[in-house]
Structure 1
């Protein structure tokens, strides 16, 4: 097990050595899930028959098609794009305190037992009254507090990668921004209902089921903030 772990760490170190003096590479867009969803649309949806003569529908200025002024331009099929609005402003504070104390005392005296106490006392032995004494005490006190504050405001374009049989849309979005030698990346994944998408083709993060939102970075600054791989390996292998 140890040689395998050492080999894995060595391969990881060699991969990072190739980035020395170079900015971190960005994830290619080609052949990604979003790209495949746009290149391979889903099954065609059965269209409802249009009421009225086709000539009148074709000549009308107010049609229900997506390209018209009054058409529904919300994402609804595989390959469509919508905007995910992430506005997280959460704060929580917990304070817990508990205390417990207990004390007890017991005495056992033997005054008469076939004149054995008198015999022991007259010979200068130990006193039999009391013969047994017990006492105990315990105390416990605990105090704990948790304070958490999170604030995040982001917008990212996501792609409909699949339309489930019940009509729910599976979306996935990825955004990468490289500034100097640091890449900030935002990942969004989850399921949304078409009815929750606004007329502006936007949806808030709290309406995404099984939402997976990741916001982080990679590059020179992130590497400095992380411990070295040898320190991580040492912490992992040490039993104490």
Structure 2
């Protein structure tokens, strides 16, 4: 039993021991949706759009090579810039107060002389004139408040990884910056409409449907700020 517990502890720590004295490694791009989108064969273009034109002309049928063509991301493998500028502030305050009291009584002073006959058999001081009497009171008071403030300004390049049948584009972007032994990660994903992409080939985060934005890091500083895995387990298991 002790040996199995020791093996579990060693297995859990092996994943961290290989990073001792080393900077955290980057996540591989090979095998990611961005990688497959970049290396996927492009869809065949319309013959009218790719028809040869005079080489001396400033106009060409291709939107990619034209001087005035639309260079916004529109197909799988294209790259666009996601602008993340979050400046949110929320304040919520609630207060409630409730009280209730009730008093009820029931008796049978006279009913064909039956209450008087029952009074003789009841204990001293008891009477059917006040057979039942109840009183109750309750009160409740509650107060709560929430204050949040978030500010984030970032820019990241994302790749169109899929074109949906309705024309919507699915994008994914990942950025990693390593400074000494700390790795900063920025991940963004979601669905965008081609018409929402600006002429500068940029789109703001509030126009991304189902946006998933993650900003964090990993490394020695992040490890120190996190509680040990044993402490996390005890926090979940212990009922007090």
The TM-score with structure 1 as length reference comes to: 0.83
Q: Which residue of 2 aligns with 1:168?
A: 168
Structure 1 residue ranges without an equivalent (≥5):
none
- Secondary structure of the corresponding residue to residue 88 of structure 1: strand
> Per the alignment, do residues 226 and 101 of structure 1 end up closer, same or farther by CA in structure 2, a change over 3 Å counting?
same
- Secondary structure of the corresponding residue to residue 59 of structure 1: coil
> Per the alignment, do residues 13 and 137 of structure 1 end up closer, same or farther by CA in structure 2, a change over 3 Å counting?
same
Q: Which residue of 2 aligns with 1:125?
A: 124
- Secondary structure of the corresponding residue to residue 233 of structure 1: helix
Structure 2 residue ranges without an equivalent (≥5):
none
- Secondary structure of the corresponding residue to residue 55 of structure 2: helix
Q: Distance in 1 between matches of 2:152 and 2:26?
A: 23
Q: Which residue of 2 aligns with 1:144?
A: 144
2:71 to 70, 73, 86: 73
Q: Over the residues paired in the alignment, what is the CA RMSD in angstroms?
A: 2.8
Q: Which residue of 2 aligns with 1:91?
A: 89
Q: Distance in 2 between matches of 1:118 and 1:12?
A: 79
Q: Distance in 2 between matches of 1:16 and 1:116?
A: 88
The TM-score with structure 2 as length reference comes to: 0.83
Q: Which residue of 1 aligns with 2:235?
A: 235
> Per the alignment, do residues 9 and 163 of structure 1 end up closer, same or farther by CA in structure 2, a change over 3 Å counting?
farther
Matched ranges for 1:102-121 at <5 A:
102-109=100-107, 111-112=109-110, 113-114=113-114, 115-116=116-117, 119=120
Deviation at 1:145?
A: 1.6
**Residue correspondences, number:** 232
Deviation at 1:14?
A: 1.5
Deviation at 1:223?
A: 1.2
Q: Is contact 1:42-1:162 (8 Å) kept?
A: no
Q: Is contact 2:177-2:185 (8 Å) kept?
A: yes
Q: Deviations for 1:18-70, whole angstroms, at most 9, x for unmatched residues? A: 1111111111233432222111233223243579xx55x43212335323321
Q: Deviations for 1:78-133, whole angstroms, at most 9, x for unmatched residues? A: 22111000111111122222222111112344545554477479xx9224254432
> Per the alignment, do residues 198 and 111 of structure 1 end up closer, same or farther by CA in structure 2, a change over 3 Å counting?
closer
Q: Which residue of 2 aligns with 1:220?
A: 220
Q: Distance in 2 between matches of 1:118 and 1:163?
A: 89
Q: Is contact 2:192-2:209 (8 Å) kept?
A: yes
Q: Deviations for 1:152-195, whole angstroms, at most 9, x for unmatched residues? A: 11000111112223322221110001112111100011121211
